[in-house]
Structures are given as C-alpha cells and as structure tokens.
Amino acid sequence: MSFWPLKPSMRSVLSGVSGLVPRDAARPAPSVPAALEFEVLYRDHFRFVWRTVRRLGIDGARTDDVVQDVFLVVHRRLDGFEGRSSPKTWLYGIVRRVIADRRRTQRRKPEDAAQLEPDALRSPALGPEASAEQAERVRLLHRLLAQLGDDKREAFVLAELEGLTIAEIAEAIDANPNTVASRVRAARREFEAALERATQHDVALARRIEEERPR
C-alpha cells in the first residue's frame, strides 16, 4: 500500500537518521549462555531494537535497560519462533510487550529530547558541521514523535522509519491492515503539521534575534 510522497522538509528530517544509534549506547554481551542463532539475531537486529525503543518514547536513561530486557525475552522465547513472520516483525512484538509492561509498573515520564547528548549522536564518519546537523535532526525527530499519540507514533515509526509494510505492521501489533493504514496516514498529517509549526517557530526566532542584534 502506498501513500502520498513525502514533503521535502519531512524527507530532510527523516533522511540520515533511520539507522542512527548513539555510539555510546550500551551493547552488552548476552548475560546468559547463548546459541549461535541468538547471537546472530542479536548482532543483526540490535540497532533496530535500540532505535525503536527510543522512538517509542523510552527516555535515554532507560533505553539500554529496556533493550536488555527485550533480548532476555528473545533468548527465552527463541525456540518458539517458527519463522511464520520475519525476525523483525517477531522482535517488534516483543519490544511492544516489554515497553507496555515497563509503563504499567512506573509512571510514564514526558519525552526529554535533551537526554540525547549531541556528542553521543555525532557520527565520527562525518565532519563536525555535518555531524552537528545530523544530531539536530535526531533531536527534532524525537520532539516531533513525542507529539503523536501512542498508536500513531507506533505506526509512523514502523512504516516511515523502519520501512515495514502495512501487512507486517498489522501482524506485529495484531491489528486490521486498514486500521494500520489509517493510523499511518493520520500520523503523517500530524507529523507534517508539527514539523511546519517547528519550522515557523525557528524562522520567527531567527528573525527576532536578527532584529535585536546591535547595529
């Protein structure tokens, strides 16, 4: 199922951040004896799990703990994976349940984009200026995601940032494909509106600073 093309401003925010994980994100070795299959799954999908946990609203201080919990569940349940869905779809189902359990046991805190330290988000492969711009895009992305409701945020992250199909998302969250498609469309509208507001705010702030600068 296809949607309307991304606006240039929205494409700019999403470009270059889909696979980004802060370089200091904890990636601990499995704490229990692991089969090769688990090691492969862990190696190939750690980044997907980390960034999805982060984008679903778990703040920076707790992200590593939640990711570790996810892979402990994966280790326990790997024998039950029958290959009827993709590993990414199966993993997301576990991510979703672990986050839900975490939120039931502690009061949900507001998103704090400031916990993503600029130095942690900068890529050593980029120059200082490009790296700083990338870090700013990531911070903006998380601020915009925080303005979406949970269902829309989930659909948007999986469709627009992780590239899952509507059918894969529907399977992962046990929802009707039409419902998923509706959420993605609504999320895109709200995301684009929030991006437009943020852009207008930045332009107005820059104009005010320029006007108040001593002549």
In a domain, 1, yes or no: no
**What are the residues whose beta carbons fall under 8 Å from the beta carbon of 103, sequence distance 6 or more?**
none
Distance CA 187, CA 169 (A): 14
- Confidence at residue 3, expressed as pLDDT on a 0 to 100 scale: 47
In a domain, 129, yes or no: yes
**What are the residues whose beta carbons fall under 8 Å from the beta carbon of 134, sequence distance 6 or more?**
16, 17, 20, 121, 122, 123, 126
pLDDT surpasses 90 at 74: yes
In a domain, 167, yes or no: yes
In a domain, 130, yes or no: yes
Distance CA 135, CA 16 (A): 10
Q: How far is CA 157 from CA 35, 51, 177, in A?
A: 30, 10, 16
pLDDT > 70 fraction of the chain, expressed in percent and rounded: 63
Q: What is the mean pLDDT of residues 27-46?
A: 67
Q: How many domains does the chain have?
A: 1
In a domain, 2, yes or no: no
pLDDT > 90 fraction of the chain, expressed in percent and rounded: 42
Confidence band (pLDDT; 50, 70, 90) for 123? low
Distance CA 48, CA 35 (A): 20
In a domain, 3, yes or no: no
Which two structure tokens, joined as six digits, stand for 87?
A: 């590993």
Q: Which domain holds residue 75?
A: 8-212
Confidence band (pLDDT; 50, 70, 90) for 50? very high
Q: What is the mean pLDDT of residues 86-101?
A: 92
Pair 175, 98: CB distance under 8 Å: no
Confidence band (pLDDT; 50, 70, 90) for 150? very high
In a domain, 198, yes or no: yes
Distance CA 20, CA 7 (A): 22
- Confidence at residue 81, expressed as pLDDT on a 0 to 100 scale: 86
Distance CA 37, CA 150 (A): 32
Sign of the dihedral defined by the CA atoms of residues 121, 122, 124, 130, in that order: positive
Q: What is the rounded average pLDDT for all residues in the chain?
A: 76
Could you tell me the CATH number of the domain that includes residue 208?
1.20.140.160
Confidence band (pLDDT; 50, 70, 90) for 89? very high
Confidence band (pLDDT; 50, 70, 90) for 127? low
Which two structure tokens, joined as six digits, stand for 159?
A: 């469709």
Question: 131, 63, 70: which is closest to 98 by C-alpha?
Answer: 70
- Confidence at residue 198, expressed as pLDDT on a 0 to 100 scale: 84
Q: Please report where in the chains the tokens 């790997």 appear, as a residue.
A: 78
Which of 5-9, 109-113, 145-149 has the lowest average pLDDT?
A: 109-113
Pair 140, 150: CB distance under 8 Å: no
DSSP state of 160: I
In a domain, 49, yes or no: yes
pTM of the model: 0.68
Query: For the chain, what is the radius of gyration of the CA atoms?
Result: 19
Q: What is the mean pLDDT of residues 89-106?
A: 89
